[in-house]
Structure 1
């Protein structure tokens, strides 16, 4: 089987096969983004997943570990390990939830905010590179389509 310049495989008879599924394309994009993000944040001593968790806290400071795990797309166990690592680095802190004494809220420290500020531009350049061949309108439509697709899959049912 050979691959054509536009990424379609050819079957044994030379006919073009169907294009890759959207699920495949989304996963391939996610892996490419993660790889580039890992490269960018490696000098800070954090992983792409840790950086993502910090950006979640930047937008929604003072969340539970379970909420942070869901918003960061990781399991509760992975988040528990991540929280310990980020707390040890002094990038976050945990405080008791005034509404529920058993729950700890996770908050961004000044060092975490500084890290995010320092890496905001290099991370923005990754996104810019990803959308470089799109017009501004196409990039906005892409953003909207991704949001709509996520909401559709997030609904129960």
Structure 2
């Protein structure tokens, strides 16, 4: 018996997860790209705009309005790179860290409902497999 392609299984799940995240993100005043920026900066505090765009898979020119909004809201800071003043370094602020953590906790509470459908061993194996596959980009 053949199995479905990985994309045929993962893409619908990914879309369902993104649909489930939308109201949570709205409740926390974030768009998906803004949330992605905050998580990436929380992971590595200081990044260039180009490195951030590459990390989250965004077009760096389309990311600028997202960064402007986050900066205006005091969630990130942008400073010139002392080594190259044409380059902007990004850093998450304490308020940005708090909002990212609060939003992620709400999203993960929702995800727990889906994961509860799996028995504990399958759940751990599933999460371990996802981590492995996600790390192999």
Is 1:132 matched up with 2:116?
Answer: yes
Greater relative contact order, per chain length (Cα 8 Å cut-off, separation 6+):
2
Structure 1 runs of 4+ aligned residues shifted over 4 Å read: none
Deviation at residue 18 of structure 1 after TM alignment: 6.0
Which residue in the other structure is 2:66 paired with?
82
Deviation at residue 58 of structure 1 after TM alignment: 1.0
Is 1:116 matched up with 2:100?
Answer: yes
Which residue in the other structure is 1:4 paired with?
none
Q: Which runs of 5+ in 1 are unaligned?
A: 1-16
Q: Which has the larger radius of gyration?
A: 1
Considering fraction of residues, name the structure with more helix: 2
Question: Which TM-score applies when normalising by structure 1?
Answer: 0.74
Q: CA RMSD in A?
A: 2.2
3-state secondary structure, aligned to 1:96: strand
Deviation at residue 19 of structure 1 after TM alignment: 5.3
Q: Quick one: distance in 1 between partners of 2:61 and 2:14?
A: 22
Q: How many residues align?
A: 137
Question: Which TM-score applies when normalising by structure 2?
Answer: 0.84
